[in-house]
A and B are shown apart, each in its own frame.
Chain A
């Protein structure tokens, strides 16, 4: 029985923590949150130097031949520190989807640059409010050109390439687009989550290379979203654990009625509940990590369980952390709101909680059939 990270992975985690700490990842994130600048490029390069961007990718593409578990470790630590880097766009979505669909030539050209931190990417699917993935995309792929618009695209204004879901004849397909093409217009959108940098992308006949089979867009994207959901879930438990720790530390330092407030059962029991939610989510995440690493056909189930459990734990921990801080937690200066905003941002990034519950239920329906 082995449902935990290895000693090597824990060493890797320690290195990551040291790096994120030295670089003041959270402080930079806070500074960038007030600016219109892009992501923390210096941290991204440092992560590349540590090997964190390609730990899970094969050596043939410049990676380090590790497991997807390594990416789970990265995600948890980024989530803990609110690092303002395009991990969701580039690592969880783009690199995974490209790896599934790209031809040898594209992979050999793009992935080594990605692993070195010199090129970034994203995946664009959402078009209007509501579903994350439109059933019938209005973006159209025709004769090697892409037309249409996407919104809420993770890091859309800052990355070098995007994989886009578009209508293609009677079905939907994925296509690869160079973001520096002059027929791509990018505009940054105001973000609830101050650590994220969502954008709107307008494609006015941009050159586009189809990835995977024609009409296979939704199926390929869904598989990638399942995997991304596991990584996002690790970011979420990282965030939840950070909020629990912050709330607990505050409860020990803040005195009221002659005692630390952490001695009051109203606070103790709430913190205990946050611990329970975080540990339950962690167990679901480990199951997700196992499924994503072993390529199990239980992945849709595991991904949904991890994503829902961890999303809810992070949102609860962030909200209750503010509550335990009292009015201090309601100020701009407190880091609490950065996590509170981030928790909601991640909770909707790959589709809402109820969408993931439906994914889980459909999988159970298929199993029973």
Chain B
């Protein structure tokens, strides 16, 4: 066991590092740089990378990528380091839209979309979830109806990140309400600037707005924008989601250093909180959990380095991070005492961090697969336990029982 690169990996890292050092905007190379970049800065960095063959390095060469291995991609991400802040606008496009287009779209659509995507000229979002269909994605109700060589789309999508910046969206809709739920779906590319697309930010319980709801009112989409056959949208959606899983999660940080710093600078009963017996064991608990997460990632990297797929170990991370961050934040607010309930924290250097985590981590347990769905996946895919009973699987979608007010209620 050792943590060093193989000779090939080291050579790749050196090449990537040299290029980044030469071309990256100095300002965003500095991890201490405050704030977020302008959209134009992000697009500029993407274009520069594309011109030099460093954009979407995991894409095949025929589509402008580098055909990089999974471990090379990981090394590139490590070397890009603080520059990640220039790229969140392209996460969905490069990791989900691109691979889905390559696998399921016509040559014409590939020719139209892939190059502007890799060059950072066009931004993509994903329109899957609806108010009435989250974990049960195949229960979506947004309707598409034929109108000559076009389709007319009406309905509502929700939890759509970056919809307000997006040029195009990956859209899953219902084309046949009389077919069983998985078989009446069809998949399209939607122009987010088209008439009838109405994007409204959602205000989360944290007060932030990271997501949108998207209302679709008779939006016209040409049939040529369809991916896969009519009624085969579920398979295309699975391709998208498999690529989402493959990119790994943008895992929220376990905030170990911040936890230690706060416990060292906060006084409790005349001692530093970190020296208080009740605090000490809880700190140790989270340190050990975070340590386990770190080495779980290194186990996955080991598999990538050996040219293997990520193993089952990679599936545990999100489940631990979501619940763990929520519990950690709650405990750190306990450590702060009455000040824990003050959002304008006077804790020097901590800037109400754990108050923010306390509110945001709630969502970590829900987004990109709820804790419950992930447990089902671990149980069924890894432990090979039987699937749940699906009473709605083989009956027409229109006959599936629903709650009287199932749609749109929050």
Contacts and interface: CB of A to CB of B under 8 A. Distances in A.
A271 interface: yes
A361 B385 contact: no
B288 A2 contact: no
Contacts of B387: 263
> DSSP majority for the A interface?
helix
Given A3-B299, A279-B296, A280-B296, A364 B1 contact: no
A280 B385 contact: no
A284 B291 contact: yes
Contact of B316 (A265, A279, A365): A279
Given A2-B1, A280-B292, A357 B299 contact: no
B210 interface: no
Contacts of B372: 265, 269
A11 B115 CA distance: 48
Contacts of A360: 284, 287-288
Nearest to B290: A305
Contact of A248 (B4, B264, B375, B383): B383
B288 A364 contact: no
Nearest to B377: A272
Contacts of B274: 361, 365
Interface string A329-369: 00000000000000000000000001001101100110010
A251 interface: yes
Contacts of A248: 383, 385
Interface in B73-119: none
A283 B312 CA distance: 12
Given A69-B1, A268-B379, A2 B285 contact: no
B325 to A, nearest CB: 15
B293 interface: yes
Interface in B276-322: 280-281, 283-285, 287-289, 291-296, 298-299, 301-305, 312-313, 316, 319-320
Interface in B3-30: 3-5, 9
Considering residues B288, B374, B378, which has the most beta carbons from chain A within 10 angstroms of its beta carbon?
B288
Contacts of B305: 1-2
B403 interface: no
Contacts, number: 151
A290 B292 CA distance: 13
Contacts of B383: 248, 268, 271-272, 275
B382 A3 contact: no
A280 B320 contact: yes
A365 B375 CA distance: 36
Given A263-B388, A283-B313, A308-B284, A289 B291 contact: no
B320 A3 contact: no
B2 interface: yes
B293 A286 contact: no
A304 B386 CA distance: 37
B71 interface: yes
B389 interface: yes
A259 interface: yes
B376 interface: yes
Interface in B355-393: 372, 374-376, 378-380, 382-383, 385-389
A287 B281 contact: no
A52 B179 CA distance: 61
A260 B380 CA distance: 13
Considering residues A279, A290, A293, A358, which has the most beta carbons from chain B within 10 angstroms of its beta carbon?
A279
By Cβ-Cβ distance, the 9 closest A-B pairs, closest first, are: A357-B284, A268-B379, A283-B295, A263-B386, A280-B292, A272-B375, A272-B378, A283-B296, A262-B385
